[in-house]
Amino acid sequence: MDRNTLIGLVLIFIIIGASVFLMKPSEEELKRERQLQDSLARSRAGIEKVDQDTSAITETTTVLDSTILSGPFGGATAGSERIVTLENEYIKANISTKGGQVKSVEIKGQETYDGRPLMLFEGDQNKFGLFFSSAGKNIITNDLFFTTTGSDIRVVGQDSASVTFRLAYDADKYIDYIYSIKGDDHNLGFTILTKGMQDVIAPTETQLVLNWETVLYQKEKDMSSERQRSTAYYALADGDVDHLSTSNDDEESFKENMEWVSFKQHFFSNVLVADNGFNGGKINVYASVDDHIVKLFAANLHLNFSRQDINTYPMHFFFGPNQYKVLKAHGYGLEKQIDMGWGPMKWINRFITVPVFNFLDGFNWSYGFVILVLTVLLKLVLSPLTYRSYVSMAKMRVLKPEMDQIKEKVGPDNATLLQQEYLKLYKQAGVNPLGGCIPLLLQMPFTIAFFFFFPNLFELRGESFLWVKDLSTYDSPITFSPLPIIGTSHLSLMCILMTVTTLISTWYNNSVSGATGQMKYIGYFMPLIFLFVLNSFPAGLNYYYFLSTVFTFGQQVIIRQMINDDKILAIIESNKKKPEAKKKSKFQQRMEDYMRQQQGKGKGKK
């Protein structure tokens, strides 16, 4: 490697490190950001709030003046909060009479990274209710008290049950929230029913606005990774699934019909599906500087309101894991929330990796062993490409002495003539110089596909292997104070193993291929760069890359023993004696045509 290249690489690392350090926000900026996010959390729904001077609500009993009590739904502005629990094998949902909303949901059998019960919803930050106008006032059902005669429900198997929460205007005019649950399901049924509201809701309104807001708290060890993989997803009526930004505050407004909206965290989703669709709306996602908050979500969803006695809006919530087979079985394209990559990587993961992994998972092996078998199967399938690539490199290695002689004879300054002489040699020897690269390129999508597959694989969550406590996040047996440049405070042992084996493999390839100059050293830089890049990636991913490198190295050693350089040289010498017309390949013909054009241009300039 020449001096200029080395200086350039050093400068790049210095610039990256300096930019990370200098762009770090100050304490004052962080304080202002917290104040801004607190303000957004109170107003992000974008709807007009009721004047705070007109109400004074407490969690138990509210005391109001007579003017408020005589207004629309005046009797519902005061009341006592009561919680009704709906529970099955998978979820435990607490429904509050205040707002008639889901106050919290526990995913049974799951825990946060620090051992607490996993709650998808929790606390008073959640908001869920209808917004409309009545008698010149804005009504927000989230702030009103519903009534219910229901009690706690627990179902199993095929059993089902429901409970109704009612917000009454009078005896014949009311809004019902009907929650239902059945066993063996991650769903919570939800239906809105309006009775006699055509004379209560302002005559100018043709839609109800369903406002849904929540704050989602940290559940995984790596907050940075959890934030990168958490955002709002949505499906349009035509089945197209898309999402908001994963890195910045974002919002999206819709005029077309929507089928569902999801507030997605890394490994869990909160989805609201409308059987008849939402008639447009607006979705927001906000970042947070709070160390324990992943993101803040808000959605205003439109429901068509008809001037008739009864309107029903059947929906259901999905509260569950982002496990590909679970989401796919649920339908509605929910599995598209899992990032499987782009282009060919997405199809490789969806139609090859996922089915093979699910098949191996059925044997109830440890996930460390499942990854091992998955790696072996992949290497066996790709072994023909690996063999062809190695044979092609062996041919180039055998030709290298002749190429060095040509370079010495022509001189390094005449690049065009040098390439022409090389092409003649390739043609005579029957060698394709790209023969070693093409098989490697064909294997590349499979290698990159796992870069998306493992970080989003729910099955690895909380699963231990050897010294790794959780394969879905980084292992950190070595910890220290955060480094100012790269910001890490740990070293992943699995990542170190992957890096060391890659360096050994690179050294072996260089010694076999006879690489010299810059090419000899470039191969050593990539593993060192990935040591920092993959240090905070899941241990399962680094474990796969470690296994993949070991098996690739083993394949190369075995193939090296199978290939005899003397036999290859004999084949090349035999090819040289064949008629020239039979030795041309399409690649060589194109290269010859290109060289003639370049040579012609050079003569024209003279």
pLDDT for 348-365, tens place per residue?
A: 999 999 999 999 999 999
Number of domains the chain is built from: 2
Q: In whole angstroms, what is the distance from residue 412 CA to residue 216 CA?
A: 63
User: 153-154 and 83-87 as β-strands: parallel, antiparallel, unpaired?
Assistant: parallel
Residue with the two structure tokens 């100018």: 204
With a cut of 80, say whether residue 373 has pLDDT above it.
Answer: yes
Q: Provide the pLDDT confidence category of residue 525 given band limits of 50, 70 and 90.
A: confident
Q: Is the pLDDT of residue 253 over 50?
A: yes
Same domain, yes or no: 54 and 199 = yes
Please state, in angstroms and rounded to a whole number, the distance separating the CA atoms of residues 119 and 126: 13
Burial 130-142 (b: 16+ CB within 10 A, else e): bbbebeeeebbbb
Confidence of residue 512 (pLDDT cuts 50, 70, 90): low
Name 315's bridge partners.
190, 274
Report residue 40 as tokens.
Answer: 């957004």
pLDDT tens string 140-189: 999 899 999 989 999 998 899 999 999 999 889 999 999 999 998 999 99
Q: What is the predicted pLDDT for the residue at 453?
A: 94
Same domain assignment for residues 360 and 298: no
The token duo for 315 is: 């929906």
Torsion of CA 273, 275, 279, 280, to 10 degrees: 20
Please tell me which residue, 180 or 581, carries the higher pLDDT value.
180
Looking at the DSSP bridge assignments, the partners of residue 153 are: 86
Q: Is residue 21 part of a domain?
A: no
Q: Between these two residues, 525 and 59, which has the higher pLDDT value?
A: 525
User: Which tokens sit at 106?
Assistant: 């526990």
pLDDT at 597 over 70: no
Residue 406 has pLDDT above 50, yes or no: yes
Residue 308: band (very low, low, confident or very high) from pLDDT cuts 50, 70, 90: very high
Residue 494 in any domain: the answer is yes
Same domain assignment for residues 423 and 459: yes
In this predicted model, what pLDDT tens digit does every residue of 456-473 receive, in sequence order?
999 999 999 999 999 999
CA distances from residue 418 to 103, 392, 411, 413, 516 in whole angstroms, order as listed? 75, 21, 8, 9, 18
CA distance 235 to 333: 8
* pLDDT at site 480: 75
Q: Contact 241/346 with Cβ under 8 angstroms?
A: no
Helix (H) or strand (E) holding 314, with range, is strand 310-321
- Whether residue 327 is contained in a domain is answered as yes
pLDDT at 321: 96
Domain region containing 188: 44-338
pLDDT band at 383 (very low <50, low <70, confident <90, very high): confident
**What is the CA 93 to chain-centroid distance, rounded?**
26
Task: Encode pLDDT of 281-299 as tens digits.
Answer: 999 999 988 889 999 999 9
pLDDT greater than 90 at residue 2: no
Q: Could you tell me if 270 and 368 lie in one domain?
A: no
Strand partners, 317: 188, 272
Residue 517 pLDDT level (bands cut at 50, 70, 90): low
3-class state of residue 542 by DSSP = helix
Residue 272 banded pLDDT, cuts 50, 70, 90: very high
* Average predicted confidence (pLDDT) for the chain: 81
Bridge partners of 342? Answer: none
Percent of the chain with pLDDT over 90: 50
* Residue that wins the pLDDT comparison between 404 and 352: 352
Tell whether 302 and 425 lie within a shared domain.
no
Residues 68, 51: contact at Cβ < 8 Å?
Answer: no
Name the phi and psi angles at 284, rounded to 5.
-130, 150
- 320: closest CA among 273, 371, 356? 273
pLDDT over 60 (residue 580): no
For residue 318, the domain's CATH number is 2.70.98.90
Average pLDDT of the residues in 180-206: 93
Per-residue pLDDT band for 45 (boundaries 50, 70, 90) equals very low
Residues 442 and 310 in one domain: no
Q: What is the DSSP string of 332-356?
A: TTGGGGS---STHHHHHIIIIIHHH
Residue 593 lies in a domain: no
pTM for the structure as a whole: 0.78
Quick one: which of 133, 143, 266 has its CA closest to 200? 133
pLDDT at 421: 72
Amino acid 585: pLDDT: 54
- Alpha-carbon torsion (532, 535, 537, 540), positive or negative: positive
Residues 282 and 362 in one domain: no
Three-class SS state of 538: coil
Q: What's 483's DSSP letter?
A: P
Whether 495 and 575 map to the same domain: the answer is yes
Contacts of 223 (CB under 8 A, 6+ apart): 291, 294
Q: Is residue 344 domain-resident?
A: no
What is the 3-state composition of the chain as percent helix, strand, coil, each rounded to the nearest 5? 45, 25, 30
Residue that the structure tokens 């992994």 belong to: 357
Cβ atoms of 261 and 272 within 8 Å: the answer is yes
* Greatest pairwise CA separation for the chain in angstroms: 108
